[in-house]
């Protein structure tokens, strides 16, 4: 259940109550696609990095190790040793990203596994069954993420099918939650709004899926090639047609600046691989912009990644040492930067929540964005 605590303009400060604990929003969900954060970060580490929600992927866990195996082991929470909420992505994005390996039909999608080439079928019912086996807190509806750009005709047909799939997802989840051997009988369902950059298709779709009274709603199919200004325009146009009293989730976005702008437009759930992926390439996020710690200028720099940061990396280690680890291709270097980046993102979300509560979000956003500009794009 979602409780809206405060609004500052369009920005929302809320609480989302789940069977695995209460999520304070706006929230950034930390991505562990295969039930682990890339960069050697454990769930025990996440507890100290202010992580509220971990996100894993239905498709990847289905093809390896297998959702049925994970169910036998007690579900994803027990498997990962994580006691807070988990959101599972439906596999729909893989329909998009594995475009050379799939065929979309009304009943669902026929894949070839990216691991061993075997044929896989996934439709709305299969996605719900896999996510029920994983026993995540929040399951995402199975959708198609259309390519960008796409013709209006393709987009409309795709969105109509996504709506029909969503109705099937809702029905199947209700059935699964009623079964005796289901691990999490309180699993929640988020629907996904699609429509590319056609705002009229987006708005009409938002209206239609809002009628289904789901636990939350996501904006999908953004950050797939359109400009930032286009993405912000679509968020602005669409969010007012999604229920205010439900979580609003912008999937796969994004940079700290993207998050600040989207919060200002009514979004309060986020996820992105940037803090982990960029961390593994030696890039650290700070309040003065992004640092490339591979750079020679850090060779003798005894300061932490960011002065005043309380993450495990900044509490003990210097930029010079972390640069040495990266140059020596030591795993510890990647681990330290990934932990710092996740802590940075999660701390920024704390600051965002506080700024909304205090009615000063616009001022906070401006100051934060001005700081990022000091070292270039963030």
Query: pLDDT of 189-232, one tens digit each?
Result: 999 999 999 999 999 999 999 999 999 999 999 998 899 999 99
By the 10 Å C-beta count (0-12 exposed, 13-18 middle, 19+ buried), 144 is classed as buried
User: What kind of fold does domain 2-272 have according to CATH?
Assistant: TIM Barrel (3.20.20)
Model confidence band, residue 285 (pLDDT cutoffs 50, 70, 90): very high
Q: What is the pLDDT of residue 5?
A: 98
Exposure string over 197-236, b if 16+ CB within 10 A, otherwise e: bbeebbbbbbebbbeeebbbbbbbbbbbebeeeebbebbb
Q: Which residues contact 290 (CB under 8 A, 6 or more apart)?
A: 278, 283, 284, 375, 376, 377, 378
Distance between CA atoms of residues 211 and 225, nearest Å:
30
pLDDT for the residue numbered 377:
53
Q: What angle do CA 366, 370, 373 make, to 5 degrees?
A: 145
Whole-number Å distance between alpha carbons of 365 and 146: 31
Report the residue count for the chain: 378
Q: What is the token pair recorded at 196?
A: 């590319």
Q: What is the mean pLDDT of residues 29-36?
A: 96
In angstroms, the CA 35 to CA 24 distance is 22
How confident is the model over 319-349, as pLDDT tens digits? 999 999 999 999 999 999 999 999 999 999 9
Strands 138-140 and 86-89, how do they pair?
parallel
- At residue 91, the pLDDT reads 81
> What gap in Å lies between CA 208 and CA 215, rounded to an integer?
15
Average pLDDT over residues 98-113: 84
**Band of pLDDT at residue 378, cut at 50, 70 and 90:** low
pLDDT of 315 above 70: yes
Strands of 94-171, DSSP E:
102-105, 108-112, 119-122, 138-140
Question: Which pLDDT value is given to residue 102?
Answer: 81
Tokens of 286: 């700070």
Please, which residues have CB within 8 angstroms of residue 208's CB and are 6 or more apart in sequence?
A: 163
**Sheet with 102-105, side-by-side order of all strands:** 102-105, 108-112, 119-122
> What is the token pair recorded at 254?
């994004």
End-to-end CA, the chain: 34
How far from chain centre, in Å, is Cα 359?
26
Contact 77, 135 (CB under 8 A): yes
Q: Three-class SS of residue 111?
A: strand
Q: What is the pLDDT of residue 132?
A: 98
Task: Could you list the beta-strand ranges (E) of the chain.
Answer: 2-8, 11-18, 21-25, 27-31, 54-57, 86-89, 102-105, 108-112, 119-122, 138-140, 188-193, 216-219, 248-250, 269-272, 283-286, 289-292
pLDDT beyond 90 at 234: yes
Q: Where in the chain is the domain with CATH 3.20.20.105?
A: 2-272
- What pLDDT sits at residue 111? 80
The neighbouring-strand residues paired with 21 are 18
C-alpha span between 31 and 25 (Å, rounded): 17
Phi, psi of 311 (to 5 degrees): -70, 160
pLDDT of residue 54: 98
Closest CA to 348 of 99, 1, 48, 49: 49
Residues 12 and 8: their CA atoms lie apart, in Å, by: 7
DSSP sequence for 24-45: EESEEEEE-TTSSBTTTB-HHH
Give the catalytic positions in this structure.
89, 271
């Amino acid at each position: 259940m979602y409780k809206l605590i405060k609004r500052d303009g369009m920005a929302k400060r809320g609480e989302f109550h789940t069977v695995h604990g209460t999520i304070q929003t706006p929230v950034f969900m930390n991505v562990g696609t295969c039930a682990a954060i890339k960069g050697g970060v454990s769930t025990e580490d996440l507890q100290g990095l202010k992580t509220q929600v971990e996100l894993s992927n239905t498709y990847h866990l289905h093809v390896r190790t297998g959702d049925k195996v994970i169910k036998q082991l007690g579900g994803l929470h027990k498997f990962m040793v994580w006691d807070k909420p988990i959101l599972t992505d439906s596999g729909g994005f893989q329909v998009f990203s594995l475009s050379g390996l799939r065929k979309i039909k009304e009943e669902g999608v026929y894949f070839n596994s990216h691991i061993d080439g075997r044929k896989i079928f996934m439709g709305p019912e299969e996605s719900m069954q896999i996510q029920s086996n994983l026993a995540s807190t929040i399951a995402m509806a199975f959708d198609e993420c259309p390519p960008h750009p796409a013709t209006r005709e393709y987009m409309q047909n795709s969105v109509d099918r996504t709506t029909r799939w969503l109705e099937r997802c809702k029905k199947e989840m209700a059935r699964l939650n009623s079964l005796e051997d289901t691990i999490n009988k309180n699993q929640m369902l988020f629907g996904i709004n699609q429509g590319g950059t056609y705002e009229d298709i987006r708005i009409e779709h938002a209206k239609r899926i809002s009628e289904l009274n789901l636990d939350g709603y996501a904006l999908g199919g953004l950050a797939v090639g359109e400009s930032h200004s286009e993405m912000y325009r679509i968020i602005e146009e669409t969010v007012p047609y999604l229920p205010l009293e439900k979580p609003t989730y912008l999937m796969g976005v994004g940079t700290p600046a993207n998050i600040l702008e989207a919060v200002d437009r009514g979004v309060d759930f986020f996820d992105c691989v940037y803090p982990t992926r960029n961390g593994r390439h030696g890039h650290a996020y700070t309040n003065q912009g992004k640092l490339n710690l591979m750079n020679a200028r850090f060779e003798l720099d005894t300061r932490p990644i960011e002065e005043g940061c309380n993450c495990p990396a900044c509490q003990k280690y210097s930029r010079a040492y972390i640069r040495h680890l990266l140059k020596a291709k030591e795993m510890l270097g990647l681990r330290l930067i990934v932990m710092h980046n996740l802590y940075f993102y999660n701390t920024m979300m704390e600051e965002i929540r506080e700024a909304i509560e205090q009615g000063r979000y616009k001022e906070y956003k401006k100051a934060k964005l001005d700081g990022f500009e000091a070292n270039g794009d963030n």
